């Protein structure tokens, strides 16, 4: 399992990235429209496996004043390689009941599964769960259409089932938002649709420093270097690519650090424009 935690500060705001574990996906799921030869070369240059992509699950703990905010809850104990979030939090000195706000970037199982225990109860009993209003409406509607996802049907069914189960369990604690909103002082959520209809990015700002958490607006550094490469888990690919470009341009223009849930641990770094029209990723704080 990847290393567990990494601490840094944004101005006066204490941040800790916490690993919930990882999944492995076929490379074709993450880059469905990539030219196979170009993809093979890109993976080879980075000394990465050709067939499967190792995908870390990295949540963000934010502590500012008396507020304790968790961005995404991980997958929970859905596989033998996930389910470490509660232990990671306790190692950071945070009990589940201490968390007062959970920001759900979206309702995919690897982001929301850890919000609900095996008995179907909220893991964070005292928290409000901030989510995009369109996200709530999409997953709880009578007709949730996932046919545009380029993953197997059984995976689509599992995604849908998990979203409905977990959202139902925390529905009394949900706080839907539909515009850019300050959730606690120094922490804002930003609508970032495409991956899902109500997908959110999260901006942490203090003392002239900023961290932009992309959520799943990009799920691999190759999506920065090759900005037209799609992600098979994106519901609306054109919108997702446009959103990704907008967020990256904002981050570069405002000299922000970036975080992405599935990037190699500790999942934080910087970007700069490269000559090919993409973005070069440099890991680290």
Q: Tokens 């030219």 map to which residue?
A: 35
2 has pLDDT over 60: no
Ranges of H-type helices in the chain:
27-30, 36-45, 85-91, 109-112, 133-140, 153-169, 222-225, 237-253
What value does the mean pLDDT of the chain take?
Answer: 95
Collapsed DSSP state (helix, strand, coil) of residue 229: coil
Mean pLDDT of 235-253: 97
Collapsed DSSP state (helix, strand, coil) of residue 268: strand
Mean pLDDT of 251-275: 95
Could you report the per-residue pLDDT of 123-133, keeping only the tens digit for each? Answer: 999 999 999 99
240 has pLDDT over 50: yes
Contact (CB, 8 A) for 259 and 60: yes
pLDDT bucket at 112, cuts 50 / 70 / 90 = very high
Which residue range(s) make up the domain with 244? Answer: 5-283
CA–CA separation, 252 vs 36, rounded Å? 30
246 has pLDDT over 80: yes
pLDDT on residue 1: 38
Mean pLDDT of 91-101: 96
- The DSSP secondary-structure symbol of 205 reads E
pLDDT on residue 79: 85
- What CATH number has the domain bearing residue 267? 3.60.15.10
pLDDT bucket at 3, cuts 50 / 70 / 90 = low
Could you report the per-residue pLDDT of 12-66, keeping only the tens digit for each? Answer: 999 999 999 999 999 999 999 999 999 999 999 999 999 999 999 999 999 999 9
Query: Taking the mean position of all CA atoms in its chain, how far away is CA 25?
Result: 16
Mean pLDDT of 208-223: 97
Q: Sheet of 128-132: strands edge to edge?
A: 5-10, 13-26, 52-64, 67-71, 101-103, 128-132, 174-177
pTM score: 0.96
Q: Tokens 């067939």 map to which residue?
A: 51
Look up residue 170 and give its two tokens: 């925390």
State how many domains the chain has.
Answer: 1
CA–CA separation, 122 vs 99, rounded Å? 12
Mean pLDDT of 271-285: 91
Strands 181-184 and 5-10: unpaired
């Amino acid at each position: 399992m990847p290393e567990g935690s990494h601490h840094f500060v944004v101005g006066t705001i204490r941040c800790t990235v916490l690993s919930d574990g990882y999944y492995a996906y076929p490379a074709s799921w993450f880059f469905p429209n990539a030219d196979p030869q170009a993809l093979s070369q890109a993976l080879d240059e980075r000394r990465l496996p050709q067939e499967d992509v190792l995908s870390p699950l990295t949540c963000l703990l934010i502590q500012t004043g008396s507020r304790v905010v968790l961005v995404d809850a991980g997958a929970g104990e859905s596989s033998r390689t996930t389910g470490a979030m509660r232990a990671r939090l306790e190692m950071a000195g945070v009990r589940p009941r201490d968390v007062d706000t959970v920001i759900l970037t979206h309702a995919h199982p690897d982001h929301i599964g850890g919000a609900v225990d095996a008995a179907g109860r909220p893991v964070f009993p005292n928290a409000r769960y901030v989510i995009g209003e369109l996200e709530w409406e999409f997953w709880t509607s009578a007709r949730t259409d996932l046919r545009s996802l380029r993953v197997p049907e059984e995976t689509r069914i599992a995604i849908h089932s998990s979203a409905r189960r977990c959202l139902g369990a925390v529905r009394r604690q949900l706080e839907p938002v539909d515009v850019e909103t300050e959730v606690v002082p120094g922490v804002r959520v930003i609508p970032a649709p495409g991956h899902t209809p109500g997908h959110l990015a999260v901006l942490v700002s203090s003392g002239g420093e900023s961290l932009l958490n992309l959520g799943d607006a990009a799920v691999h550094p190759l999506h920065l270097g090759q900005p037209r490469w799609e992600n098979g888990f994106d519901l609306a690919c054109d919108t997702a690519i446009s959103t990704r470009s907008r967020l990256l341009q904002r981050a570069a223009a405002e000299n922000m650090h970036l975080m992405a849930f599935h990037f190699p641990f500790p999942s934080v770094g910087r970007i700069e424009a490269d000559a090919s029209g993409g973005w070069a990723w440099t890991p680290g704080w």
